[in-house]
Structure 1
Amino acid sequence: MKTNLAAVAALAAALTACHNPAEPVADGKPSRAEAAFGRSVRAYLLEHPEVIEEAVAKLQDKKQAEAEAQAAAAQADARKLIPHYRAELERDPRDFVANPDGKVTVVEFFDYNCGYCKLAAPQVLKLIQENPDIRFVFKEFPIFGAASDSAAKVALTPAGKANGLALYQAWMAEKPLDEAGIDRQLAALGLNPSQVRKASDTPEIAKQVAEIRALAAKLKVQGTPAFIVGDTMIPGADIGALKAAITQAKAGELKQPAAG
């Protein structure tokens, strides 16, 4: 109902704003003809509210079609681009990888303060735990501020990668994850926050994060999470689509890299 009311207001305002070019507007105020027209529009809409429902439905259909067209275009671009960057995506030895001996590779670009990443995280962990044949590459892609940047750099330290899944689970459960939450969860794992943070403050780790950002830009990753399986990119927390892509990959229908 809210959508219909909004549509009514927008439509009535738009139609009321129309004026007869032959009758100029004085001081920004509607003319008598405009006011009469607006009253007529309002009366018609009140008498025929089904027109609004039809307009809203048509608008929703249009937006859905546009979204599907954009998704199809993005997927086509991804299929062209991913093969050129496969080694950077799947085989960067600096990344944290769960189930490193798995035959099917999944890559996730994520941010610890992304709401949809947090929504997907339990399913990601379940997928990793229940499927040892899935090699899962975590791409630290901080886009939500300073705490996200700090967490990404901490996660890329030796201590961070040694506790990769535990940190991922703990930090994704923090809503939001702030600097205090980072330290609290490090301490809960028996790590010294000051020491780990010092280890994270290196040119090498800063360079890795910058290179991940550059890779995301090359692949036209628009936000987080973004999953990649073979030549397929799955934007958003669409776990169903992710599982479908994994099933196809296991069946050999998507190109998989040679082990290395």
Structure 2
Amino acid sequence: MKLRQLAMILVTTYTSFIFTAHASAPQPLFSPEQEARIGEIAADYLVAHPEVLVTVSQKLLAQQQQRQLAKFALSVMENQARLLNDKDTPASGPDDARVAVIEFFDYQCVFCSRFAPELEKVMKAQPDVRYIFKEWPIFGGRWDASLQAAQQGLSVWKQKGPEAYLTYHNAIYATGHVEGKLTAADIRAAAVKAGAGTTEQTDNTALLEKNSNLAEALGLTGTPGIVVMPVTGATPATVTVFPEAVTAEKLQSAIHKAMPSD
């Protein structure tokens, strides 16, 4: 066996040993003398080939991400009814859709703003999917417009229905005013465009709190948070959670994965 191959095996074994030592207490794999020698070889090799550390760290990061996504999927399974069956939550698409896309978002979130046109593309390409909008104004404590836009959006939904809500939703993002730049005039103009200029804003605080509690139960820590799942018969293998903005292509791929086979 070549020295490089031997060194790589030793580096991988030793690195794995280090990262798992605190997770469990197995019987020692090596004697103290062997561990010391392995450490010497590994250290020498890493000094000569630091790119190995990059490869190992990337692999560990990928493993951590996979574990996190699996944890997200299990949380989704535990909260299916809250995600899919809340009649107070804005939704668009057929009632008998087989797949649902659920987004947790804030109108002042720059990443949500970047995702909005991607979602519009998917909605046009996949009209057979149910799209559910969970208003989650996490920046409401910093920018009042974040909270006010969410309140107005829910009022439009309750009084004017899904078409008006989507018009309002897209009009807010079309302003490009995020991170504190959205104004009361922007919100009024979006409501007028949705045909709800004279609609009285209702108090939707209880629903916003419910959305926040659900997002926390899922393990989401920011916006956007996107869940793609079958409406019935969901399993961890068919659920996808994106804790970030994604492209239309990635979202469609997740929809196809969730679509039940005939």
State the TM-score, normalizing by the size of structure 2: 0.66
Report the counterpart of residue 170 of structure 1 in structure 2.
171
Structure 2: runs of 5+ lacking an equivalent: 1-46, 230-238
- Which secondary structure does the structure 2 equivalent of 1:112 belong to? coil
Matched residues in 1 for 2:139 and 2:52: separation?
35
Report the counterpart of residue 258 of structure 2 in structure 1.
249
Which of 234, 240, 245 aligns to 1:232? It is 240
- Which secondary structure does the structure 2 equivalent of 1:199 belong to? coil
RMSD (Å) for aligned C-alpha atoms: 2.5
1:189–1:79 CA distance, 2 compared to 1 (3 A)? closer
What's the CA shift string for 1:170-225, capped at 9, x where partnerless? 11122222322111222233433xx54x432x2xx211100100000010012111
Matched residues in 1 for 2:224 and 2:59: separation?
23
Report the counterpart of residue 100 of structure 1 in structure 2.
94
- Is contact 1:160–1:167 with CA below 8 Å preserved after alignment? no
Paired residue type of 1:126: K
Alpha-carbon offset, residue 235 of structure 1:
1.8
Matched residues in 1 for 2:152 and 2:94: separation?
21
Q: Which has more radius of gyration?
A: 1
Alpha-carbon offset, residue 160 of structure 1:
5.9
Q: Are 2:59 and 1:73 equivalent residues in the alignment?
A: no
Report the counterpart of residue 125 of structure 2 in structure 1.
130
Matched residues in 2 for 1:229 and 1:60: separation?
32
Question: Counterparts in 2 of 1:25-104, with a 5 A limit?
Answer: 64-65=58-59, 67-101=61-95, 102-104=97-99
- Is contact 2:98–2:260 with CA below 8 Å preserved after alignment? no
Paired residue type of 1:229: V
Report the counterpart of residue 3 of structure 2 in structure 1.
none
Question: Counterparts in 2 of 1:125-164, with a 5 A limit?
Answer: 125-145=120-140, 146-157=144-155, 158-159=158-159, 161-162=161-162, 163-164=164-165
State the TM-score, normalizing by the size of structure 1: 0.67
- Is contact 1:96–1:164 with CA below 8 Å preserved after alignment? yes
Which of 198, 201, 206 aligns to 1:199? It is 201
- Which secondary structure does the structure 1 equivalent of 2:94 belong to? coil
Structure 1: runs of 5+ lacking an equivalent: 1-50, 254-260
Alpha-carbon offset, residue 130 of structure 1:
2.4
Report the counterpart of residue 38 of structure 2 in structure 1.
none
1:218–1:185 CA distance, 2 compared to 1 (3 A)? same
1:166–1:67 CA distance, 2 compared to 1 (3 A)? farther
